[in-house]
Amino acid sequence: MAHTNPVHVVAHLQAQPAQIEALAAVLKELAHGSRGEAGNHGFQVHQNATDPAHFVTVEHWADTAAVDAHMQSAQVGAVLAKLGPLLAAPPAIVRYANVV
């Protein structure tokens, strides 16, 4: 029954220097929309205090099915389409399971 365990998703995104504000706006839009999705228990966007072009999103989901539905949603597809020209490198997105 591992699929019913909570899932945490952490994404690291590095903005192009001239696109920091644009990336922040897109990530805020994604966070607000994601918070209303079934199975979402939280979606935060953090900006590195010493490298403002580096962002981290921390997402909390009820289970793997909720994450999969989120990743296949029209909203995520629209955001991914916007990200390309804003990023200095591909995003690093990792799913984590609770250990304790």
Taken in order of first residue, the domains within the chain and their CATH numbers are: 1-13+38-86 (3.30.70.100)
Per residue in 8-49, pLDDT (tens digit) is 999 999 999 999 999 999 999 999 999 999 999 999 999 999
Residue in this structure with the two tokens 């805020």, named with its chain if needed: 28
Q: What is the pLDDT of residue 2?
A: 46
Per-residue pLDDT band at 4 (split at 50, 70, 90): confident
Residue in this structure with the two tokens 């949603």, named with its chain if needed: 73
Angle in degrees, 0-180, between the axes of helices 74-83 and 20-34, rounded to the nearest 10: 170
Chain mean pLDDT for the chain:
94
Q: What is the pLDDT of residue 58?
A: 98
CB half-sphere exposure, 27, CA atoms < 13 A: 27
Q: CA 16, CA 2: separation in Å to the nearest integer?
A: 38
Q: CA 100, CA 98: separation in Å to the nearest integer?
A: 6
pTM of the predicted model, to two decimals? 0.90
Per-residue pLDDT band at 1 (split at 50, 70, 90): very low
